[in-house]
Amino acid sequence: MASAAALLPLASYGFLLGWSVAWPPGPINAEIVRRGLARGFWPAYGVGLGASTGDAVWAVAVVLGAGAVFGSEAARHALALISTALLLLLAAVYLRGAWHGIVVWRAGRSAASPGRLEGGRAGYLLGLGMALSSPWNIAFWLAVIGRPETLRAGPVASLVVAASVLLGTNLWVLLLCAAVVQLRLRFASGAWEVVAKGATGLVMLYFAVDGARRLAGG
């Protein structure tokens, strides 16, 4: 069993890794920003919390040895298809919402009325689904937990690394949500709702196309 002194470097490594993989632009961050600006802190945080829960599920699964099962080519392919399909669905939903927003905005009405997918609970389920269906999450956790020094330190060390990664990602989510909410009043308009939904839809579409390209390339 690893000592506390041996676990500290692993915890620091996990925290820095979690932070570094959380901040780059991606579909989850794009949705957090859109919801934060349009709806406030909790709807945005729900997406990040759901994604973190999905990450935790994958982390525990890999630590317990399920990574060998999900590391198969067939499983990766199936999850890649699910992930791409989900991103395409989200792209369609948000681009349709942007078009609807243009129609009502030009008619002089507000485009910022909440939809069924806009609440905190729906955001949580959305973030959870995106994280669980992403094959890149599996590759990430296999890479993190599969490091020789982590495996040599035992399962407790693996859990410490996983928890530290999740701590880093959650800290980023909290800071991101707090930051975008400070800008909310500046963008609380029908025009911003159209721009936000359109931009989010395009981001989702980009990642869906990128996922399909990777699938086609094997």
C-alpha–C-alpha distance, residues 187 and 121, integer Å = 23
Residue 18 domain-assigned (yes or no)? no
Residue 5 Cα distances to 9, 75, 156, 159, 161, angstroms: 8, 38, 13, 16, 14
Q: What total of structural domains would you count in the chain?
A: 1
Indicate the helix (H) or strand (E) that contains 118.
none
C-alpha–C-alpha distance, residues 162 and 170, integer Å = 12
C-alpha–C-alpha distance, residues 128 and 16, integer Å = 22
Residue 21 domain-assigned (yes or no)? no
Do residues 91 and 204 touch, judged by C-beta distance below 8 A? Answer: yes
Cα-based angle 24, 26, 29 (whole degrees, multiple of 5): 85
Residue 175 domain-assigned (yes or no)? yes
Residue 98 domain-assigned (yes or no)? yes
Residue pLDDT, tens place only, 149-170: 566 667 788 788 888 888 988 9
Range of the structural domain that residue 193 is part of: 31-217
Residue 54 domain-assigned (yes or no)? yes
Centre a 10 Å sphere on the Cβ of residue 141 and count the other Cβ atoms it contains: 24
Residue 64 domain-assigned (yes or no)? yes
Do residues 98 and 194 touch, judged by C-beta distance below 8 A? Answer: yes
State the pTM of this model.
Answer: 0.67
Residue 4 domain-assigned (yes or no)? no
Do residues 91 and 205 touch, judged by C-beta distance below 8 A? Answer: yes
pLDDT under 50 in the chain at which residues?
110-114
